[in-house]
């Protein structure tokens, strides 16, 4: 982890990497807010590292020895989110064979992280407002309130002020959450941090994939620094992992970069070789991708074909998941797979969002 010289956290295990002024400001606010119980809301595009800030706030707070409970409000169906957050009593509804403790209760004396809070349905916003005001919850089907002591950290990639104006988000809840706002900058606005991030992810994936890539040459770094990174740090991590897995060179160069980067970066930045035009036949596109992106030739010692194909399959699945914000139904459609087939492949390849 790289932190500004004048910034110190008790726990330096959250990979908050950067020396840019925008990152410095985020870390300074995190340092001050960590010691308090104040509600924090983290704004930022998907992939900027909002959960890293939430975890840093918790693990550097007096609540560090107690639970940190993350909840993605956008990933849980609206009709299930209430029971996930508040729990329910036995017999509260059909199928409630036993009582269930909700996430808010599980976070007692600790921190609950409500990611994508802007996707929370209106009726639940009312119930959350009561939690923030009274520090108590009612399980579904319960007859008495349960006192809890939780710190709430929220995050969103939406413009909540605009949602308030349009009636999509409660104004009173917004002001309850917006005690200490933290704004995570997109990667395109902190490009001076890209070389640091590249080194971090290169070292991490060398270790994870048992590879020994020694570095990335200056021309490739320049290209990556001029890419706009719509997927932010998550996209950068995926690209580095792909290059580490597929390259047979000791130093990564422009020919190892994903074609998407080479196509999107202005030609005058790096004077790229002529890229082949995309054929209409998907099978031909895949064949060319395998030939051009996977390796520049079979080394003398040979290759493990099964492993190479498996790694390529993993990267295609990861890209489909990222494009669809990890909604498995949509990712399966992108890959022309049944959802059950995709789920089986995720288990086989040990792919998780973490």
Whether 58 and 171 share a structural domain:
yes
As given in the structure block, the two tokens for residue 122 are 């209106």
Domain-located, residue 232: yes
Q: Beta-carbon neighbour count of residue 267 at 10 Å?
A: 10
End-to-end CA distance of the chain: 18
Residues 159 and 221 grouped into a single domain: no
* Residue 179 and residue 241 in one domain: no
> For residue range 96-126, what is the model confidence (pLDDT) as tens digits?
778 888 999 999 999 999 999 999 999 999 9
| pLDDT tens, residue by residue, 180-237 | 999 999 999 999 999 999 999 999 999 999 999 999 999 999 999 999 999 999 999 9
Contact 66, 109 (CB under 8 A): yes
Q: Answer yes or no: do 32 and 147 share one domain.
A: yes
pLDDT (tens place) for every residue of the chain, 354 residues total = 233 333 344 444 456 888 899 999 999 999 999 999 999 999 999 999 999 999 999 999 999 999 999 999 999 998 889 999 998 888 777 777 788 889 999 999 999 999 999 999 999 999 999 999 999 999 888 888 999 999 999 999 999 999 999 999 999 999 999 999 999 999 999 999 999 999 999 999 999 999 999 999 999 999 999 999 999 999 999 999 999 999 988 999 998 998 888 888 875 565 544 444 444 455 555 555 555 554 445 666 677 777 778 888 888 888 888 888 888 888 888 888 888 888 888 888 888 876
Secondary structure class of 140 (helix, strand, coil): strand
Buried b (16+ CB within 10 A) or exposed e, 35-49: eeeebbbbbbbbbbb
User: What is d(CA 94, CA 19) in angstroms, rounded to the nearest whole number?
Assistant: 54
CB 44, CB 186: distance < 8 Å: yes
Nearest to 27 by CA among 184, 192, 159, 152: 184
Asked whether residue 51 falls in the same domain as residue 115, the answer is: yes
The parent domain of residue 149 ranges over 21-185
CATH code at 119? Answer: 3.40.50.300
Asked if residue 57 lies in contact with residue 40, where contact means CB atoms within 8 angstroms, the answer is yes
CATH of residue 243's domain is 1.10.8.60
Same domain for 65 and 174, yes or no, is yes
303 sits in the region (left: phi over 0; alpha: psi -120 to 50; else beta) called beta
Say what the pLDDT of residue 147 is: 95
Query: Is residue 352 domain-resident?
Result: no
Indicate the residue among 279, 303, 327 that finishes a domain.
Answer: 303
Question: What totals of helices (H) and strands (E) does the chain contain, helices first?
Answer: 16, 11
Check residue 120 and report its DSSP letter: S
Burial class (CB in 10 A: 0-12, 13-18, 19+), 97: exposed
- Whole-model pTM: value is 0.70
Domain co-membership, 125 together with 194: no
The mean pLDDT value of the chain amounts to 85
Q: Same domain, yes or no, for 143 and 196?
A: no
């Amino acid at each position: 982890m790289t932190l500004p010289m004048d910034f110190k956290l008790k726990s330096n295990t959250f990979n908050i990497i950067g020396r840019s002024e925008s990152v410095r400001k985020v870390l300074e606010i995190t340092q001050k807010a960590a010691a308090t119980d104040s509600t924090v809301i983290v704004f930022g595009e998907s992939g900027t590292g909002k959960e890293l800030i939430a975890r840093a706030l918790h693990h550097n707070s007096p609540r560090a020895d107690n639970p940190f409970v993350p909840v993605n409000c956008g990933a849980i169906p609206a009709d299930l989110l209430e029971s996930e957050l508040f729990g329910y009593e036995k017999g509260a509804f059909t199928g409630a064979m036993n009582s269930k403790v909700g996430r808010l209760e599980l976070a007692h004396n600790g921190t609950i992280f409500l990611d994508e809070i802007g996707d929370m349905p209106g009726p639940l916003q009312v119930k959350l407002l009561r939690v923030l005001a009274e520090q108590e919850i009612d399980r579904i089907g319960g007859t008495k309130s349960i006192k809890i002591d939780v710190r709430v950290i929220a995050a969103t990639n939406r413009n909540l002020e605009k949602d308030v104006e349009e009636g999509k988000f409660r104004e009173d809840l917004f002001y309850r959450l917006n005690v200490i706002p933290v704004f995570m900058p997109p990667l395109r606005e902190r490009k001076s941090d890209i070389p640091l991030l590249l080194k971090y992810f290169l070292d991490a994936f060398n270790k994870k994939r048992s590879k020994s890539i020694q570095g990335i040459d200056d021309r490739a770094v320049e290209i990556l620094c001029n890419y706009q990174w719509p997927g932010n740090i998550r996209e950068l991590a995926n690209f580095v992992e792909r290059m580490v897995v597929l390259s047979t060179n000791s130093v990564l160069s422009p020919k190892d970069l994903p074609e998407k980067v080479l196509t999107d970066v202005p030609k005058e930045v790096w004077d790229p070789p002529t890229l082949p035009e995309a054929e209409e036949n998907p099978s031909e596109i895949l064949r060319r991708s395998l030939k051009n992106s996977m390796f520049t030739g079979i080394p003398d010692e040979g290759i493990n074909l099964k492993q190479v194909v498996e790694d390529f399959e993993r990267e295609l699945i990861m890209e489909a998941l990222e494009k669809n914000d990890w909604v498995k139904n949509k990712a399966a459609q992108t890959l022309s797979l049944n959802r059950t087939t995709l789920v089986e492949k995720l288990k086989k390849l040990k792919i998780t969002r973490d």
